[in-house]
Amino acid sequence: MIHATAQIDPSARIADSVSIGAYSVIGADVVIGEGTTIGPHVVIEGPTTIGRDNRISQFASIGGPPQDKKFKGERTELVIGDRNLIREFVTINRGTGDGGGVTRIGNDNWLLAYVHVAHDCQIGNNVVFSNYSALAGHAEIGDWTILSGFSGVHQFCKVGAHAFIGMGCLVGSDVPPFVMMANETRGRPRGINSEGLKRRGFDTARIAAIKRAYRTLYMAGLPLAEAREQLLAQAEGSEDVRQMLDFLDRSERALAR
């Protein structure tokens, strides 16, 4: 049931009826339950616990460390229930120390090709993740939810049970149970990244200057050439506004407005 080329860490606990394909790698602190099938070229890192009768396709990457700069190598886990289908190139990360420590996936879920589940996500049962859908860290997905292809859920957002997220829809807020979500317009500018600027040490005056420039460019209703003239005056007192102007001058495509 285990191919001769598979690499299994001695500490891994694998049930007798588990099947593991060629060149798959099972790391330390991995537990795999009865009847689970693992295809070729799969990587499973621990600490990870996988239940019964799961099907994991080739090139999936399960239980890797979180993609979070705050992660310092602390012990965290991934817990996967029973009867889940995990298709090609799916990536599922373990939790973070300050985010609860556990990424958890329930039972009877379908994670189709190229799905990504980030650290500390909590997923219920009977959820369908269509191709290329993704969850950022700490997202919560209720039972029987469907995420259509190329959809995404922002970090810390919650999606209630039986919700439907339409194709390409980017969820940036909580979605109540039973609600359908779909795109109506393409993405557009929605303010400056003030929180990120604060974290990088920008003081109040710098952020205020950038906000003023944003309002000039996006909210004043000015033609681009006229907005640029006003930005030119504002840039005399702000290197950050000057940087915005330099970007405008280098831009070769239509500016998002």
Amino acid residing at 162: H
Q: Is the peptide bond before 47 cis (omega within 30 degrees of 0)?
A: yes
Q: Are 99 and 122 in contact (CB under 8 A)?
A: no
Distance CA 55, CA 114 (A): 15
Coil, strand or helix at 231: helix
Q: Are 224 and 255 in contact (CB under 8 A)?
A: yes
Instruction: Report, as residue numbers or ranges, the catalytic residues.
Output: 119-120, 137
Of 49, 56, 51, the closest CA to residue 110 belongs to 56
Distance CA 189, CA 167 (A): 21
Q: Are 82 and 50 in contact (CB under 8 A)?
A: no
Amino acid residing at 58: Q
